[in-house]
């Protein structure tokens, strides 16, 4: 009786085994590293800042406390960000301008900023993505910025 059960199940077991074997042996199509950055289209996206670090010579400042909200949005070639401080409550920064992104090289031409010394300057750095985060690392003047944003749209 037991042998009949295994004889009936043998083709199904063999088929499942082959399916698992061939699935495990196949490799997903690899996207070349240089194309990973150009695949992301920022147009129409919105991001919320999770982390920000400013490096001034030998001093490091971290910000984005829990009571802050900072949102960055992109159109085809423009960006804007707005910050809000819930503890006060008031606007806690804003800025915007145009940007270019080629491969991972990201350049912001800052047209307006809550920090007057940033007006008319250029942020140069790298922009890269993983599954849900956007990382922005670069310099504006002598200030180095490292930021992480998560997508909210």
The pLDDT of residue 11 is 56
Higher pLDDT pick, 143 / 5: 143
Do residue 19 and residue 56 come from a single domain? no
Are 26 and 18 spatial neighbours (Cβ–Cβ below 8 Å)?
no
Q: Got the DSSP string for the chain? A: -HHHHHHHHHHHHHHHHHHHHHHHH--PPPPPHHHHTTT---TT-EEEEEEEEEEETTEEEEE--TTEEEEEEE-SSEEEEEEEETTTTEEEEEEEEEEEEETTEEEEEEEEESSGGGTT-EEEEEEEE-SSEEEEEEEETTEEEEEEEEE--
Do residue 16 and residue 81 come from a single domain? no
Higher pLDDT pick, 131 / 71: 71
Do residue 7 and residue 68 come from a single domain? no
Do residue 25 and residue 43 come from a single domain? no
The CATH number given to whatever domain includes residue 99 is 2.40.128.20
Do residue 100 and residue 55 come from a single domain? yes
Would you give the end-to-end CA distance of the chain in angstroms?
Answer: 59
Split into its structural domains, the chain has a count of 2
pLDDT digits (tens, 9 = 90+) for 5-20: 544 545 545 444 443 4
Do residue 17 and residue 41 come from a single domain? no
pLDDT digits (tens, 9 = 90+) for 85-123: 999 999 999 999 999 998 889 999 999 999 999 999 999
Structural domain including 20 reads 2-29
Do residue 21 and residue 96 come from a single domain? no
């Amino acid at each position: 009786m037991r042998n009949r059960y295994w004889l009936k199940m043998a083709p199904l077991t063999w088929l499942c085994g082959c399916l698992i074997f061939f699935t495990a042996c196949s490799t997903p199509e690899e996207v070349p590293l240089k194309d990973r950055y150009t695949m992301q289209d920022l147009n129409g996206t919105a991001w919320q800042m999770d982390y920000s670090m400013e490096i001034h010579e030998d001093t490091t400042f971290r910000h984005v406390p829990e009571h802050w909200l900072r949102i960055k949005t992109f159109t085809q070639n423009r960006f804007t960000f707005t910050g809000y401080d819930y503890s006060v409550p008031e606007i806690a920064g804003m800025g915007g301008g145009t940007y270019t992104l080629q491969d991972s090289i990201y350049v912001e031409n800052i047209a307006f900023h809550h920090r007057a010394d940033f007006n008319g300057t250029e942020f140069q750095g790298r922009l890269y993505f993983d599954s849900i985060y956007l990382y922005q690392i670069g310099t504006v003047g002598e200030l180095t910025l490292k930021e992480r944003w998560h997508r909210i749209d």
